[in-house]
Amino acid sequence: MSGRINFVLTVFLVACALSLVNAQYQSRRLFIELERAQAAARQLDIDWAQLQLDQSTLGKHARIEDNARRDLKMAAVTPARTQYLTQGTK
């Protein structure tokens, strides 16, 4: 009888040990996954800040005006270049 109890306790002890090893493995795997997700989140925050900076730079009035003058050959309207249309009388 004592041999049977020792065998059952040994099997139970081995099962508990295997369960502990599996739990530690899962814990490490989940921790590594968490670290990767946090690194990806940090990279996305950096990308978002860069995009906001780019948007504010590209949307400035002076830059848009410079591009219009250089690329589209546009010029500011002056009174000398302005043509006024009047409604003709019948």
The whole domain housing 53 covers: 2-73
In this model, does residue 81 exceed pLDDT 70? yes
Q: How far apart are CA 41 and CA 25, in angstroms?
A: 24
| 12 part of a folded domain | yes
18 or 86, which is more confident: 18
Residue 84, both tokens? 């006024």
| 82 part of a folded domain | no
pLDDT of residue 52: 94
Segment 22-63, tens digit of pLDDT: 999 999 999 999 999 999 999 999 999 999 998 888 878 888
| 64 part of a folded domain | yes
Q: Which residues contact 57 (CB under 8 A, 6 or more apart)?
A: 63
Residue type, 15: A
pLDDT of residue 27: 98
| 86 part of a folded domain | no
- Residue 88 DSSP SS3: coil
| 53 part of a folded domain | yes
Split into its structural domains, the chain has a count of 1
Residue 12, both tokens? 């139970």
